[in-house]
């Protein structure tokens, strides 16, 4: 058997060009090339997130980014990429457990109000008050009255936040039924990820249609001009991460944004506003 000679490279550019030229000969090269391009682009976008955070801190802006979606849609992994290089002093991740006995008797939004961003801060919500719009009614964790009350109040609540200077960015991570099942199986077969599989996950496939019904109701009743729903096609996790960061960056005119050569035009095949998605699907 002919011994394979492994080339050496002095720069990443040499490595990239080698992979590009030889990807057709070896499928592994193509896979490495794709990973290389993803990591390179991610690092560029993350450097811009640092600039954005500095601007938010200096200008005393208040930004809340909501990550919602079906189970195993990649919300947690995307949040990790957002926060990886940010200053923890002006950034928080909020992932609340189920309400305590005391919280169950409070106004539903109470437990979230105290987690909202202060001036100069970004808060990432790994699930949010929208639990009551989808998960809770499907799983029987709230009454019909509680659900309807929430649906009436939530847009008013968000409008008050908007008027008080809090910018809410609502991201919904969408996956196909088949992809969700594949990710559930991957979790169960990975001893480091088994903890992610919950009783709610177990119902994800069985109650797919019920979840779809409440998801569509949530979009139609809570999508508005001051806090629109942004749908992220998350079947490809890497693309979803890149385009989510790109979308958030595109919303702000922070210092250093226009000095960068990074393309901040989001891919419309990955990122869509809710009403555009509906219009497209109706055609």
pLDDT tens for 191-237 read: 888 777 777 777 889 999 999 999 999 999 999 999 999 999 999 99
Q: If phi over 0 gives left and psi between -120 and 50 gives alpha, with beta otherwise, what is residue 185?
A: alpha
pLDDT tens for 98-152 read: 999 999 999 999 999 999 999 999 999 999 999 999 999 999 999 999 999 999 9
Give the angle 20-262-258 at the CA atoms, nearest 5°: 160
Average pLDDT in the chain: 90
What's the pLDDT at 28? 74
What's the pLDDT at 119? 98
Taking 3-state DSSP, the helix, strand and coil percentages for the chain, each rounded to the nearest 5, stand at: 55, 10, 35
Q: Mapping DSSP to helix (H, G, I), strand (E, B) and coil, where does residue 261 land?
A: coil
Q: When comparing pLDDT for 188 and 103, which is higher?
A: 103
CA distances from 146 to 72, 107, 212, 219 (A): 26, 10, 20, 18
What's the pLDDT at 3? 54
List domains and CATH numbers for the chain. 45-282 (3.40.50.300)
């Amino acid at each position: 058997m002919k011994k394979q000679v492994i080339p050496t490279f002095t720069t990443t550019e040499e490595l990239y060009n080698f992979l590009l030229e030889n990807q057709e000969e070896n499928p592994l090269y193509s896979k490495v090339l794709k990973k290389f391009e993803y990591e390179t682009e991610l690092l560029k976008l993350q450097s811009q997130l640092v600039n954005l955070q500095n601007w938010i801190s200096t200008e005393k802006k208040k930004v809340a980014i909501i990550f919602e979606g079906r189970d195993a849609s990649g919300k947690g992994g995307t949040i990790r990429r957002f926060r990886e290089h940010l200053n923890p002093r002006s950034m928080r991740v909020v992932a609340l457990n189920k309400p305590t006995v005391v919280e169950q008797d409070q106004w539903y939004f109470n437990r979230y109000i105290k987690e909202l961003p202060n001036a100069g801060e970004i808060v990432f919500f790994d699930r949010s008050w929208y639990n009551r719009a989808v998960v809770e009614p499907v799983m029987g964790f709230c009454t019909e009255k509680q659900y309807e009350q929430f649906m009436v109040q939530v847009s008013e609540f968000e409008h008050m936040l908007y008027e008080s200077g809090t910018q809410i960015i609502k991201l919904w991570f969408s996956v196909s039924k088949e992809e969700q099942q594949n990710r559930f199986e991957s979790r169960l077969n990975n001893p480091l990820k088994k903890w992610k599989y919950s009783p709610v996950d177990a119902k994800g496939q069985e109650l797919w249609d019920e979840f779809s019904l409440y998801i569509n109701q949530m979009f139609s009743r809570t999508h508005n001009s001051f806090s629109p729903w942004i749908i992220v096609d998350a079947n490809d996790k890497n693309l979803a991460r890149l385009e989510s960061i790109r979308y958030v960056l595109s919303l702000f005119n922070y210092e250093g944004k226009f000095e960068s050569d990074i393309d901040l035009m989001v891919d419309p095949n990955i990122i869509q506003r809710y009403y555009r998605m509906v219009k497209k699907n109706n055609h």
